[in-house]
Amino acid sequence: MSETENSQDEVIRKEYEFKKQVSSFFMSKGYLISPGFLDNLPTGFDCEFFLKLLEKHLGNNITVLTKDILNSIILNEKMPDINWKEFEKARVAQEKGRDNKVYDTFLNIINYKQNNGNISNDLIKLVKAEEPENDLTFPEDEMGSNVVIVKSYAENSQKREVQDFVSYFRKRYDALKKILQTRMELENAISISRLKNVENESVALIGMINGRRITKNGNLIFEIEDLTGKVNVLVNKNRKDLFEKAEYVVLDEVVGVKGKQGKGMVFVDELIFPDVPLTKEYRKASEEVYAAFTADFHTGSMMYLKEDVEKFLKWVNCEIGSDEQKRVAKNLKYLFIVGDVVDGVGVYPNQENDLMIQDIYEQYKEFVEVIKKIPSYINVIISPGNHDSTRISEPQPALHKEFVSELYDLPNVKLVSNPSIVNIHSSKSFPGFDVLVYHGSSFIYYGDQIDKIRSQGGTKRTDLIMKLLLQKRHLAPTHTSTLYIPFTEEDPLVIERVPDFFITGHLHRTVATTYNNITLIGCSCWQGRTENMEKLGIYPDPSRLTVVNLNTREMKMLNFK
């Protein structure tokens, strides 16, 4: 080999090592790296210096480092004020060949410094135009609070065909596949149909779980499918960490698999859930302000804890409590009520024997009287649950005006669907907090069906169920876990937008914890234990209110029992 060839090999080797070091550095900081970023690194590239510029200009708004981000950071002294979340969406759409126009416009703004607020707003409208959601902004009031309904589903009554279910599951698959494709481990994922051309090689796949079984040797086999075919994948029981992770796999979820292709089967080395990123920003407000979370009032029930509710109303009006508790009440700006505001009529067999108020209209009237006693400076966000007079199938639309017309006239009350996403406390200088609201009708299924959760308390462990669903990036991945409407445009139960708060009710248990910088809150109730709860395995933890200081994200529990 000549000296020239040796020299070229050495250059290639050094370049490879340099790219490897750069990739490792930024991945350790929580970023994903595109090949274009590495291929366009300038001579003398300084990782630490670039990271400082990146954090200065973009904060935590970007998760994938691309060639365009590299060039923009290097070329621009000051980055324009654009919506970086929409930039990320546009980048993904452009890479999939769906839409270049939006992404190119973003690049024009960045690279030519056309920092024009009107352009950014037009882009946001253009990107969101395809999304079937309500996006309503309420102006900041004199108290400095703000509520934005990011996503709330309306009534959508129509005849459903078999093809609607096909479209629904395809939309789910596409949405979760897109999330999984951002994972470094799955960047070279292939379709299942291409496995016939591969043998004894490492492969990466993305598919939906179509079946699961345990072999006579104790190994786990899953059948996964994509739009091109099906294949069995095997998880060996001797791979303890991997096997334990596989025990949390549920039917109809979308997962990533890395392993070795054998004869008619893939032997799994790695199992990847969509999950929420570790890089999620832990947002905090600049001032001391509080949000409170509760659910399941069940007005009309014989077990309705009216005296405890009255104590809560006195506290929220600063009439009772210690000086510290009154100070919290005075600074309370947001109150979420997550479903089952009334006990309903005919929800389960012989329910009439458990009702103090038999008339559904009177039940809602009782609840409305509670809300009317809450101070007007507190924004009250209310969603329905399975006991409310809306359709049971999810997404459930907001409470009907027929039952709660007075609430529609209260300026501080916002009625949203189940599930929904609500942004609170945003301002021109702060993006606010995204709150994912879901009543939790699927929770009993997962508390009962997943051995690992059942053995740790089942439906008593709302926190484990919430963490599981965040890992799946879906509120009810298994077909039979809840009733649902097969939307053909999207799957409304997919968790595409990573929230700051995930709030639930239904199990009547108080939970407050954190997972990957997301605050998880399982809300208490205002109802004693009924025979129906006993049948469902629900153990209530009533008359408690979870309050969060948005300045510190510290959580407190107030007991009104």
pLDDT digits over 377-396, tens only?
999 999 999 999 999 999 99
Token pair for 298: 């069940």
Which of 14 and 213 is assigned the larger pLDDT? 213
Is the distance from CB of 282 to CB of 553 less than 8 angstroms?
A: yes
Which of 343 and 4 is assigned the larger pLDDT? 343
Three-state DSSP class for residue 546: strand
pLDDT digits over 167-180, tens only?
999 999 999 999 99
How would residue 87 be classed by pLDDT, with cut points 50, 70 and 90?
low
Is the distance from CB of 360 to CB of 305 less than 8 angstroms?
A: no
Cβ-based neighbour number of residue 454 at 10 Å: 16
Which of 129 and 405 is assigned the larger pLDDT? 405
Structural domains of the chain, with CATH: 3-145 (no CATH), 164-272 (2.40.50.140), 290-559 (3.60.21.50)
pLDDT value at residue 99: 55
pLDDT value at residue 114: 38
pLDDT value at residue 73: 75
pLDDT value at residue 380: 97
Distance between CA atoms of residues 51 and 26, nearest Å: 8
Round the average pLDDT of the chain to a whole number and report it.
86
∠ Cα 444 478 239 (to 5°)? 95
Which of 113 and 49 is assigned the larger pLDDT? 49
pLDDT value at residue 534: 87
Which of 156 and 422 is assigned the larger pLDDT? 422
Taking the CA atoms of 246, 248, 250 and 255 in sequence, report the sign of the dihedral they define: negative
Q: Indicate the helix (H) or strand (E) that contains 70.
A: helix 67-75
pLDDT value at residue 23: 84
Assess whether pLDDT exceeds 60 at residue 112.
no
Assess whether pLDDT exceeds 90 at residue 20.
no
Give the range among 104-113, 346-355, 420-429 with minimum mean pLDDT: 104-113
pLDDT value at residue 7: 62
pLDDT value at residue 438: 98
pLDDT value at residue 79: 56
Spell out the residues 6+ positions from residue 80 whose beta carbon is closer than 8 angstroms to its own: 109, 110, 113, 114, 115, 120
| Site of tokens 């060639």 | 67
Q: If you average pLDDT over residues 443-449, what whole number do you get?
A: 94
How would residue 329 be classed by pLDDT, with cut points 50, 70 and 90?
very high
Q: If you average pLDDT over residues 469-486, what whole number do you get?
A: 95
Assess whether pLDDT exceeds 70 at residue 436.
yes
pLDDT value at residue 50: 82
| Site of tokens 């009529």 | 345
Assess whether pLDDT exceeds 90 at residue 492.
yes
How would residue 94 be classed by pLDDT, with cut points 50, 70 and 90?
low
- What single DSSP character describes residue 524? -
Token pair for 319: 């009439």
Q: What's phi and psi for 60, nearest 5 deg?
A: -105, 25
Taking the CA atoms of 453, 455, 459 and 462 in sequence, report the sign of the dihedral they define: negative
Assess whether pLDDT exceeds 50 at residue 124.
no
pTM value?
0.74
pLDDT value at residue 49: 80
Q: If you average pLDDT over residues 22-40, what whole number do you get?
A: 80
Residue 108: C-alpha distances to residues 35, 85, 100, 117, 247 (Å)? 22, 17, 12, 14, 48
pLDDT digits over 514-550, tens only?
999 999 999 999 999 988 888 888 888 999 999 999 9
Distance between CA atoms of residues 431 and 372, nearest Å: 30
Distance of CA 161 to the CA centre of its chain: 28
> What is the rounded end-to-end Cα distance, in angstroms, of the chain?
85
Which is nearest to 175 in space by CA: 100, 96, 228, 246?
96
How would residue 120 be classed by pLDDT, with cut points 50, 70 and 90?
very low
